[in-house]
């Protein structure tokens, strides 16, 4: 089998655990895994603490018509499992990981204001959760081969609790490559997922539909924007890699939030109200800092940040891909390019824009 084919079948026959599997990214990731595009897995386990979300996710799959669905979930009933558990709970994680080859760690507290009001809750989930995964691998003879941690642009030069805890989550997972030589730990870091639960664009759509004013924090506010599928592409790029201690950052577009609001309005003119910056919020997001850019290499559609610890980075020569930070304030999309990005981000938003 060629190396190219091996990489396309990275998940063939693998037993996969997705923490936070009922979240927006988790559900899209599981759908893509079950499609077989990375090989047919032996088992996919959704690990999360919300029994209601698991229940409705299970019902969604039960009601799929595989004759007409865009993805054929062949034998998914024999493959897809649901497991109630919390990444804060070490014994629950160990039990879930005993029959796991690959872990996608997407469980997190990710709402910026919530983390500001309850910072230690964010510490427990985002930092201790990652530490529990590492501890489980280190202290038990588990079959785990690869672990991918899902991070955020807010982890780069963080000013809010969510970003601070995710930055430490990255370090906990990347550093684990020293103590767990038989396991590959890598991370992905990306910006705002356009249609994810709790993100700004579904809020704008709701406000426009109701005829309410659109609430934007500041006219200057910018954000990186990518679809859920592009986020999953980044996760798959990380799982294909034979490297260890790497952080994958997609090369994606950015836009002013005000321009996004205006584009979503279409002909439905709705007033915009500027509410002021929220606790812990940045005006511009950064995905690669000026300190990180000197150990960042070009990976085609991705930037790849090499580990901060020199013993993990190795001594090979490399050419930095950046000379400065990778920030959402630069190269903002407008007009047709922004419309095209929004229309390709999800069926619900595409239908809404068609009627706007």
Q: What is the DSSP string of 135-199?
A: HHHHHS-----EEEEEEEGGGSS--SHHHHHHHHHHHHHHHHHHH-TTSEEEEEEE-EETTSTT-
* Structure token digits, residue 322: 């950046």
Question: Catalytic residue at 154?
Answer: yes
Distance in angstroms (rounded) separating the CA atoms of residues 1 and 81: 30
* Structure token digits, residue 219: 């006219």
Question: For the chain, what is the mean pLDDT?
Answer: 90
First to last CA, the chain: 50
Taking residues 138-163, what's their average pLDDT? Answer: 96
Residue written as tokens 């799929």?
64
Please name the residue ranges forming H helices in the chain.
Answer: 3-8, 24-34, 51-62, 76-79, 90-97, 112-117, 119-122, 129-139, 161-179, 200-210, 228-240, 257-265, 310-313, 335-343, 347-355
Give the Cβ contact number of residue 314 at 10 Å: 12
pLDDT band with cut points at 50, 70 and 90 for residue 25 = very high
pLDDT at position 343 is 83
Residue 2 pLDDT greater than 50, yes or no = no
Give the Cβ contact number of residue 144 at 10 Å: 23
pLDDT at position 192 is 83
pLDDT at position 5 is 43
Question: Each residue of 295-354: pLDDT tens digit?
Answer: 999 999 999 999 999 889 877 788 999 999 999 999 899 999 998 888 877 777 777 777
User: What is the pairing mode between strands 80-84 and 102-105?
Assistant: unpaired
Distance in angstroms (rounded) separating the CA atoms of residues 131 and 20: 16
Residue written as tokens 């026959």?
13
Question: Each residue of 206-251: pLDDT tens digit?
Answer: 898 888 899 999 999 999 988 889 999 999 999 999 999 999 999 9
pLDDT at position 61 is 82
Q: Which of 107-121, 160-174, 190-204, 318-332 has the lowest mean pLDDT?
A: 190-204
pLDDT band with cut points at 50, 70 and 90 for residue 198 = low
Query: In sequence order, what are the residues at sequence separation of 6 or more whose Cβ sits closer than 8 angstroms to the Cβ of residue 32?
Result: 38, 229, 232, 236
**Marked catalytic residue, from 146, 154, 166, 282:** 154
Contact indicator for 61, 46 with CB cutoff of 8 Å:
no
Taking residues 98-124, what's their average pLDDT? Answer: 95
- CATH of 3-191+228-250+288-325, picked from 3.30.910.20, 3.40.50.720, 1.10.10.10, 2.60.40.740, is 3.40.50.720
Residue 4 pLDDT greater than 60, yes or no = no
Distance in angstroms (rounded) separating the CA atoms of residues 225 and 251: 10
Distance from CA of residue 276 to its chain's centroid? 27
Question: Each residue of 26-59: pLDDT tens digit?
Answer: 999 999 999 999 999 999 999 999 999 999 998 8
pLDDT at position 67 is 44
Contact indicator for 39, 9 with CB cutoff of 8 Å:
yes
Residue 229 burial class via C-beta count within 10 angstroms: exposed 0-12, middle 13-18, buried 19 and up: middle
Distance in angstroms (rounded) separating the CA atoms of residues 151 and 288: 12
pLDDT at position 74 is 55
Contact indicator for 147, 131 with CB cutoff of 8 Å:
no
CA 318, 165, 155, 221: dihedral to nearest 10 degrees?
180
pLDDT at position 318 is 86
pLDDT at position 7 is 60
pLDDT at position 117 is 94
User: What is the pairing mode between strands 15-19 and 286-288?
Assistant: unpaired
Distance in angstroms (rounded) separating the CA atoms of residues 8 and 2: 10
pLDDT at position 3 is 42
Distance in angstroms (rounded) separating the CA atoms of residues 265 and 159: 31
Question: Each residue of 243-275: pLDDT tens digit?
Answer: 999 999 999 989 999 999 999 898 888 899 999
pTM: 0.90
pLDDT band with cut points at 50, 70 and 90 for residue 280 = confident
pLDDT at position 202 is 83
Q: How far is CA 65 from CA 26, 43, 292, in A?
A: 21, 21, 47
């Amino acid at each position: 089998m060629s190396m190219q084919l091996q990489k396309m079948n990275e998940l063939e026959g693998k037993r996969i655990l997705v923490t936070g599997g009922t979240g927006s990214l988790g559900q899209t990731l599981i759908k893509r895994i079950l499609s077989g595009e990375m090989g047919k897995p032996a088992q996919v386990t959704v690990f999360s603490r919300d029994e209601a979300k698991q229940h409705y996710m299970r019902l969604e799959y039960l009601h799929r018509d595989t004759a007409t669905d865009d993805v054929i979930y062949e034998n998914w009933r024999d493959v897809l499992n649901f497991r109630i558990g919390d990444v804060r709970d070490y014994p629950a994680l160990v039990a879930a990981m005993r029959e796991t080859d690959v872990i996608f760690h997407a469980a997190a507290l990710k709402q910026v204001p919530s983390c500001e009001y309850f910072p230690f809750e964010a510490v427990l989930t985002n930092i201790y959760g990652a530490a529990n995964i590492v501890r489980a691998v280190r202290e038990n003879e588990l079959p785990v081969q690869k672990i991918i941690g899902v991070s955020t642009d807010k982890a780069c030069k963080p000013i809010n609790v969510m970003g601070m805890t995710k930055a430490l989550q990255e370090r906990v997972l990347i550093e684990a490559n020293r103590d767990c030589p038989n396991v590959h730990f890598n991370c992905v870091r990306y910006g705002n997922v356009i249609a994810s639960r709790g993100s700004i664009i579904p809020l704008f759509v709701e406000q426009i539909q109701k005829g309410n004013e659109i609430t934007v924090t500041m006219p200057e506010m910018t954000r990186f924007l990518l679809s859920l599928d592009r986020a999953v592409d980044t996760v798959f790029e990380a799982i294909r890699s034979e490297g260890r201690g790497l952080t994958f950052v997609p090369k994606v577009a950015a836009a002013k939030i005000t321009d996004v609001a205006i584009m979503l309005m279409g002909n439905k003119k709705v007033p915009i109200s500027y509410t002021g910056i929220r606790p812990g919020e940045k005006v511009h997001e950064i995905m690669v800092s000026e300190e990180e850019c000197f150990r960042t290499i070009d990976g085609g559609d991705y930037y790849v940040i090499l580990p901060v610890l020199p013993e993990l980075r190795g001594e090979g020569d490399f050419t930095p891909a950046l000379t400065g930070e990778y920030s959402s304030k630069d190269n903002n999309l407008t007009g047709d390019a922004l419309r095209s990005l929004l229309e390709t981000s999800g069926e619900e938003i595409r239908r809404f824009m068609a009627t706007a």
